[in-house]
Every structure is written in C-alpha cells, then in structure tokens.
Amino acid sequence: MRLKQRLGSQSWHRVLIPASDVAKLGAGGLMDNFEKAYRAAGVPPGVEVYHNEIDGAHVFFFSPMASVVAAHVLEQFGARRCLGEPDVSTCRRVQV
C-alpha cells in the first residue's frame, strides 16, 4: 500500500536510515527534500519533525501534517506508519 493511501488516518511516520558510510548523506538528502516539499506547500502549520541518532543510525519522526506535506519524499525513504504517537522525548526537534 502506498504511503499516500495510508495518510488518511493522520498517522505519524518514521524513517530509519541505517548506520553506514552514507548515513549522514542519506539523512541530509531526506531533510533537504523534505524542506523543499514543505516550502512548496506554503509552510503549513502543524509540521513537526524529530531526529535521533542511535549507534550511527538516523531515526526521524514526522507528524501527521508533515507526513501529508511530504508524502512522496517519505515514500522514497521507506517511511513506516507509527502505531500511535511516538515517544520523541529523547529526540531533538528539527527546525524546518
């Protein structure tokens, strides 16, 4: 099922970029593309993105509005729907 079809549920989504030599490039590419989609959508309110790095792996959480704004970007990076709202207390909020 495509991400856009699942977005009707207004779910949070998670993108995991595994630790590797290109992890930082992948994380940067994700956020560069997300920010372009966010600006193209007119910088809508309610967009939240959180990031954490664990053992070299990058984990991003996208709020429901962020998931809608950049569905095509998240799909390209293999986003997965979260079951409920994730605990982002150990993450840092990304300024977009």
The residue ranges of DSSP E strands in 1-94, in sequence order, are: 13-17, 49-54, 57-62, 80-81, 92-93
Q: Which amino acid is at 73?
A: V
Give the per-residue pLDDT at 7: 46
- Pick out the chain residues at pLDDT < 70: 1-9, 21-25
- Specify the CATH number for the domain of residue 72: 3.30.70
What is the total count of domains within the chain? 1
pLDDT tens for each residue of 71-84: 999 999 999 999 99
Domain that holds residue 84: 3-93
pLDDT tens for each residue of 50-62: 999 988 889 999 9
Give the per-residue pLDDT at 24: 60
3-state helix, strand, coil in the chain (%, to 5): 40, 20, 40
Task: State the Cα–Cα distance between residues 54 and 11, nearest whole angstrom.
Answer: 23
Give the per-residue pLDDT at 26: 76
Task: Please count the CA atoms within 13 angstroms of the CA of 67 that sit on its side-chain side.
Answer: 25
Give the per-residue pLDDT at 63: 97
